[in-house]
Structure 1
Amino acid sequence: MNLRRLAFAVLPVVGAAGLGGLGARSAPSTYARLDKPTWAPPASAFGPVWSALYAANVVVGWRPYASSPSARRLHMAQLALNAVWPAVFFSAREKRASLAVIAALDATVAVEVALLGRDDPLAAALLTPYLGWCGFATALNAAVSTPAAAAP
């Protein structure tokens, strides 16, 4: 087994999930207080969805490791943006800044999907639900009340 490839596939995803989790420590109470649109999912939906999307990111990270350096850089960049967003939205309660972060995440994942689509259609397909969820999260981020207004 290639340990570098395994480390590239797993460690960035675990790091993004861990850092994102730290940034989202106040997520349950903040999310409960937000003025959300009727189409907002219940808080209980986020854990299972993110678990599945992070698992797909591990597989995607395993696959492009042997491919282009561009794919590896995009993968790392989108995971870094993914890790930063919860802290900006939930901890800092900065709606505009969090929208900028998540828009950059959307763009980075879209470019990664497009790049992988040429060389590894399966990896692109695995990442497509993540792109869709990020787009949905962007719409939700834009639709909720300012997180600072929801602070205790």
Structure 2
Amino acid sequence: MTTSLPHLTHALFTQPTPSILLPIALGTGIGYSTRPTQTKKTYLSMKQPPLRPPPWVFGPVWTALYGLMGYAAHRAYTLSLPPSLSSHPPTPTPTSPIPLLYTLQLSLNLAWMPLFFTLRRPGLALLDIGALVGLNSYLAYRYFAIDSLAGWCVVPYLAWLGFATYLNAGVGYLNRWDISESTLATREALGKRE
């Protein structure tokens, strides 16, 4: 098992197609696992800060960002390998920290939606996204040191994460850090009476 992990990592990151498609597939899977209809209803029932986008914006934006992050990881990983390992090595060695850093940031990214929309914990989601911004800032720094195109591919992701952090903090604050189903239903009922 331990010898196959470097091979799997190498196969994933040295080919652009799986590097791009994996985060898109995982992000799509998480999106659908959190029940999109319920997520949209929750999103529309919360008090929102100014500049919140309509719900339909998130799917296309995240698809593009996941694709960019996958391509950036592919370029950074491939260009960080010694020339003898960049094609099809018989026994790749995990010399690059890129796969670990990338996997950590992707895990934090994928955890955000269940934290926010399934568990309805905007405070935990804010901690998650704060760690995500920090890790991706470091990852962008590492990418720029290896390849400027890889670094620039992460910039839109960082910008969107900054905006998402604002939205997360705004929703948390405006809803008193409680977006539970019962609280939102009570607020909605009270709003209809007024």
* TM bin (shorter chain): 0.7 to 0.9
**Corresponding residue of 2:192:** none
Say whether 1:72 aligns with 2:83.
Answer: no
Inter-partner Cα distance in structure 1 for 2:185 and 2:25: 28
Determine if contact 1:12/1:76 at 8 Å carries over to the other structure. no
Can you list the C-alpha shifts for 1:71-96, whole angstroms capped at 9, x where unaligned?
22111111111110000000000011
Inter-partner Cα distance in structure 1 for 2:166 and 2:28: 21
Can you list the C-alpha shifts for 1:81-119, whole angstroms capped at 9, x where unaligned?
111000000000001111111111111111100111111
Determine if contact 1:8/1:61 at 8 Å carries over to the other structure. yes
**Corresponding residue of 1:150:** 184
TM-score by length of 1: 0.88
Inter-partner Cα distance in structure 2 for 1:86 and 1:126: 23
State, as a whole percentage, how many aligned pairs show the same letter: 32
Determine if contact 2:19/2:73 at 8 Å carries over to the other structure. yes
**Corresponding residue of 1:37:** 49
TM-score by length of 2: 0.70
Question: In terms of mean alpha carbon deviation, does 4-13 or 96-105 score higher?
Answer: 4-13
**Corresponding residue of 1:94:** 121
**Corresponding residue of 1:10:** 21
SS in 2 for 1:55: helix
Structure 1, unaligned stretches of length 5 or more? none
Aligned Cα root-mean-square deviation (Å): 2.1
Can you list the C-alpha shifts for 1:41-79, whole angstroms capped at 9, x where unaligned?
111111111111011112112212222622221111111
Residues 24 and 72 of structure 1, relative CA distance in 2, 3 Å threshold:
farther
Higher relative contact order (CA 8 A, sep 6+): 1
SS in 1 for 2:50: coil
Give the aligned residue type for 1:90.
Answer: F
Question: In terms of mean alpha carbon deviation, does 2-11 or 28-37 score higher?
Answer: 2-11
How many aligned positions are there? Answer: 151
Using the TM superposition, give the Cα deviation of residue 3 of structure 1 relative to its aligned residue in structure 2, in angstroms: 4.2
Spell out the pairing of 1:128-139 with structure 2 (5 A cutoff). 128-139=155-166
Give the aligned residue type for 1:100.
Answer: L
Inter-partner Cα distance in structure 1 for 2:97 and 2:40: 36
